Chain A
Amino acid sequence: MLTMLLFLLSDEQDRRALFALYAQYQNAMLRVARRYFPDDPASAEDAVQGAWLWVIEHFSKIFEIPCKKRGAYLTIIVKNNSLALLRKRRELPLDESLSEGEAALDDSASVLDAIRAMPETYRAVLELRFVAGYTTREIAAALGLSEGAVNTRVSRGRALLAEKLKKEGYTL
């Protein structure tokens, strides 16, 4: 509990920063959630509230993200909250194999195309680890995977994408 509280908003400046994020991105976050729950507005709103809860409890992380990428950061948090909800209800298949993820990474694809072509849970593991900073256990709990499966996806995804990133000279 103490660890969690350390990441909560600490002062009025943080509160204003949260308000600014809300004003700029709340509508986009709702629309992203609705992609995953087109006929279930209540669940879409739950996913958005879950995303804000995560943002507040890990508020310092938002400042590690460049300003112009914070919208994308929030969409990733909402998307993965939506996937976690779907997973909890067993409405998201679990049988995406690693080979599918690797198949998306053929030589001709750019790194962004390769990421977009990944199976949803494969990509979600990488996003939760490298963008949201989840631990292995947190990813496993959120996506309903074993910790071994998470570690395998992380290490292989990292190796495969790192090679492409270097080839493309990918920087900020």
Chain B
Amino acid sequence: MTNDELLRNALLDAAAAEFAAELSDTSPAVASARLLRSMRAMLNDPNGWARRRRRPVWQRLARAAAMILLALSLSLGALMAASPTVRASVVRWVTEWYETHVLYRFSGAYEGEPLESLPRYEITAMPEGYELYRIIEHVGSYGVIYTNENDDFLVLDYQRMTQGAAHDISTENVVISDVEINGCPGRLFHSLDPEVSSGVIWFDENSDLSFYVDGFFDDLELLRIAESVCLVDSTN
């Protein structure tokens, strides 16, 4: 045995002695739901889990921005086709299911207030530690990204349910369920992959807006955040 191997064994023995109490304690240690989800994913697909863990932070934040930008790009069709004023006299949306995503296509008519006049909504029950990261605003649509110190993101995105606008959500590795947010119909997209966030969309016919909240939370917390979204400035 080489000196280096002897040294390795001595270091291992020293660690075994130092952490003898931890190594001999067979009772279960308390773990968060998030860790348990992550560990389940690791045991199911260790290599995939490792690759996702190595994904740079900027990619995760870019994904949050991409969600909003996708909704924006889908809305542009509405802007080109519509008059400069908007109010849905008849609000409708069609749900189109595809193999990997679901598309909510809106078909509200145009009359009334200018397209630019989108009121300000905010998450009033902001989870602890989250701060504003970026606002992505466009005519007829408003998105805001918050992040915490772990670089997890939380997205609030809302848009007019006008003719030509749409919202696209991935359905890969998610469980989908119908929900109600403050009396409005919606759907929860619960991600089974701990490295991919969960989301909830709902449709408020009174305000003529569709809302989407997305983040790394369990279902109850995500619904609580969604229900806390409130109008804070209606002057626009």
Contacts and interface: CB of A to CB of B under 8 A. Distances in A.
Interface of A: 8-9, 14-15, 18-19, 22, 25-28, 30-32, 34-35, 41-42, 45-46, 48-49, 52-53, 56-57, 65, 69, 71-73, 75-76, 79, 111-112, 115-116, 123, 126-127, 130-131, 158, 161-162, 165, 170-172
Q: Which size class do B's interface residues fall under? A: 35 or more
B96 interface: no
A73 B15 CA distance: 8
A27 B29 contact: yes
B23 A172 contact: no
Contact of B14 (A42, A49, A116): A116
Interface string B30-73: 11101100110011001101100110000000000000000000
16 contacts: A14-B46, A18-B43, A19-B43, A26-B29, A27-B25, A27-B26, A27-B29, A35-B22, A42-B32, A45-B31, A49-B53, A56-B42, A112-B10, A116-B14, A130-B7, A162-B3
Contacts, number: 132
Nearest to A68: B16
A165 B3 contact: yes
Nearest to B24: A28
B25 A31 contact: yes
A57 B50 contact: yes
Interface of A is mostly: helix
B6 A28 contact: no
Contacts of A123: 11
B12 interface: yes
B46 A8 contact: yes
B19 interface: yes
A49 B38 contact: yes
Contacts of B32: 41-42, 45
